[in-house]
Amino acid sequence: MDAFFFLKERTGFIRFFYDTASPSFAEIRRQIKEKLPPFDDPPYSEDPEPAFLEEWTDTTTAEQILGLVCVSLLSDTLKLYFHTLQKRVIGFAFTEQETRRLKKEGFVAAYLSALGEILETDWSECPADLAVVEQIVLARNRSQHGGDLTSFDVSHDGNTLDKHPRPFFASADELENWPREVGSLSAFLMPSIEITREKLFVAMKQVEMFAEWIETRMDKAQSWRKAQSLEP
């Protein structure tokens, strides 16, 4: 099975999905800014806030939710790719140590450990940014479990910031102004997860580069399988 082919099919769809959905939000803002229908006749109000501020804000929130949805799809794609390599392409099981890493550090760390031995690599030669690859999963997990009823905003948690002090999916301005206490991660406000088109597409490229590099070392996997079959 060509796992890399199907991974690229999924990342291609994610690009299509994002670029098809996101322009509608920018178009609403353009209509508001240029006072075009249906935003050409604001209701009477003595409120000093601009007309249609809620609609404008909703579009920016929608863009962030779209980004989080796409990151979630990308994380699932990565996990499915790993699972396919494990079950249908190479055929391997986790060791006890790798199972512990899976529970403690997540599936990326566990699969890197397992595949590192099979592909005879320490990953130093891999051109992909593995820190970005890992943060795709961390951002997905926060989007699924780290929200608040009062807002759609999602922030990074202390564990992520401890490992990645300058997270990939965050605003540079917000990181600069984050009131981090010396030697502590107990600041009142954690940096928000920010998914821009640029960062989303860079993250997808890193996943594709990662998988493509694995494909170049599949001869090592074949050798590993032959060695396993010779063991008593």
Q: What is the per-residue pLDDT for 157?
A: 87
| pTM score over 0.85 | yes
Alpha-carbon distance 71 to 60, whole Å? 17
Q: How far apart are CA 135 and CA 137, in angstroms?
A: 5
pLDDT at 178: 72
**Cα–Cα dist 232/168, whole Å:** 46
Separation in Å, CA 209 to CA 8, 129, 138 = 10, 9, 19
Q: 139 Cβ partners below 8 Å, 6+ apart? A: 68, 71, 75, 169, 193, 195
Q: What is the pLDDT of residue 230?
A: 63
Identify the pLDDT of residue 123.
96
pLDDT tens profile 140-180: 999 988 677 788 889 888 888 889 988 999 988 888 777 65
Q: What is the mean pLDDT of the chain?
A: 90
Q: Are 193 and 154 in contact (CB under 8 A)?
A: yes
* pLDDT class of 20 with cuts at 50, 70, 90: very high
Number of domains in the chain: 1
Instruction: Supply the DSSP string of 4-34, one letter for each residue.
Output: HHHHHHHHHHHHHHHHHHHHHHHHHHHHHHT
Q: Which pLDDT value is given to residue 189?
A: 73
In tens, the pLDDT along 64-85 reads 999 999 999 999 999 999 999 9
Which residues are bridge partners to 192 per DSSP?
A: 155
Given a cut of 90, whether residue 43 has pLDDT beyond it is: no
First to last CA, the chain: 28
Task: Check pLDDT > 90 for residue 22.
Answer: yes
Domain encompassing residue 179: 3-230
Nearest to 57 by CA among 144, 174, 151: 151
Indicate the pLDDT class of residue 231, thresholds 50, 70 and 90.
low
* % the chain with pLDDT above 90: 69
Assess whether pLDDT exceeds 60 at residue 185: no
pLDDT of residue 146: 67
Q: Give the contacts of 110 (CB within 8 A, at least 6 positions apart).
A: 94, 98, 99, 101, 102
**Hey, which of 40-44, 46-50, 111-115, 168-172 has the most confident mean pLDDT?**
111-115
The answer to whether residue 188 scores a pLDDT higher than 80 is no
Q: Evaluate if residue 217 carries a pLDDT over 90.
A: yes
Whether the CA torsion 124, 125, 129, 135 is positive or negative: it is negative
